Amino acid sequence: MTPIIEFRDVNKYYGKLHALKNINLTINEGEVVSIIGPSGSGKSTLIRTMNGLERINSGQLIVTGHDLADKATDINKIRKNVGMVFQNFNLYENHTVLENVTLAPKIVLKRPDDENKEIAMRYLEKVGMADKANAYPRQVSGGQKQRVAIARSLAMHPKVILFDEPTSALDPEMIQDVLDVMKYVAEQGITMVVVTHEMGFARKVGTRLIFFDKGEVLEDRKPEEFFAHPDTERARDFLSKVI
């Protein structure tokens, strides 16, 4: 197994709040890791450290071979390999759908225009948004925005894509379309780390399940085992509320 992300004794504080407590965790190539847990437990903090959106206070965090805790590490190099999909899409509102997908490959990867557009259209096709290529984000629905955001990530050909509650801001009827696209991403063999409340996704698409609470990994197991027999009282209590 090839590790893509490795936490070694990682701690993170917000002032006095101990948000990540001595995290030791290795995520390997090809895994689809779902992270579930109560609100405020530190899931976003955990996933945002993985591409340097949050800094850690101690320990080592090796992402695609580089230690994020090392000041000499160039974060932009790492972000080429680490995509991120947010709850609120974070599309560029003043750019078209197509431009949203072509912008980073053009600027960061210096991909030539023709090839860039071809690759972007191919991914927009995959997520069912090719016919909206020239629309602006405000002209499409939340679910459609999220599918564009996923196409945008895919177009960078990252080693791993991080998802922080990608369906939590969506109307219920749009959730499944986005989950279907995420399933497609998983089928491509792209490593995924997904903070989610979608237990169906965690159970059926995920290859590994992390139950996170109060800044700690409480369970880290195969999804089917977790859902059949959660080990901890806190996980049982959480599941009783969400299922």
Which residues lie near Mg ion (CB under 5 A)? Answer: 44
Cβ(84)–Cβ(150) under 8 Å? Answer: no
> Residue 168 Cβ, how far from Mg ion at the closest point, in Å?
8
How large is the greatest C-alpha to C-alpha distance in the chain, in angstroms?
55
> Residue 61 Cβ, how far from ligand ADP at the closest point, in Å?
15
- Check binding of 76 to ligand ADP (CB under 6 A): no
- Element (DSSP H or E) covering residue 117: helix 113-126
Instruction: Tell me the two tokens of residue 90.
Output: 């974070």
Cβ(98)–Cβ(121) under 8 Å? Answer: yes
Residues paired with residue 163 on neighbouring β-strands, in sequence order: 85, 194
Which of residues 4, 7, 34, 44 is near ligand ADP by CB under 6 A? 44
> Residue 182 Cβ, how far from ligand ADP at the closest point, in Å?
18
- Check binding of 19 to ligand ADP (CB under 6 A): yes
- Check binding of 40 to ligand ADP (CB under 6 A): yes
Question: Taking CB within 5 to 8 Å according to partner kind, which of ligand ADP, Mg ion, none is near residue 230?
Answer: none
Which of residues 1, 2, 16, 39 is near ligand ADP by CB under 6 A? 39
- Check binding of 45 to ligand ADP (CB under 6 A): yes
Name, in order, each residue with C-beta under 8 angstroms of 64's C-beta and a sequence gap of 6 or more: 4, 5, 78, 81, 82, 159, 160
- Closest CB to ligand ADP among residues 129, 235: 235
Span interacting with ligand ADP, options 33-41, 118-126, 152-160, 233-241, rule CB under 6 A: 33-41
Instruction: Tell me the two tokens of residue 232.
Output: 């901890």
| Angle CA 86–71–193, to nearest 5 | 25
- Check binding of 241 to ligand ADP (CB under 6 A): no
> Residue 188 Cβ, how far from Mg ion at the closest point, in Å?
25
Place of tokens 């159970």: 203
- Check binding of 188 to ligand ADP (CB under 6 A): no
Cβ burial of 229 (10 Å; 0-12, 13-18, 19+) is exposed
- Closest CB to ligand ADP among residues 141, 216: 216
Q: What does residue 207 show for φ and ψ, rounded to 5 degrees?
A: -100, -10
- Check binding of 43 to ligand ADP (CB under 6 A): yes
> Residue 96 Cβ, how far from Mg ion at the closest point, in Å?
29
Place of tokens 């800094």: 55
- Check binding of 34 to ligand ADP (CB under 6 A): no
List residues binding ligand ADP (CB under 6 A): 14, 17, 19, 39-45
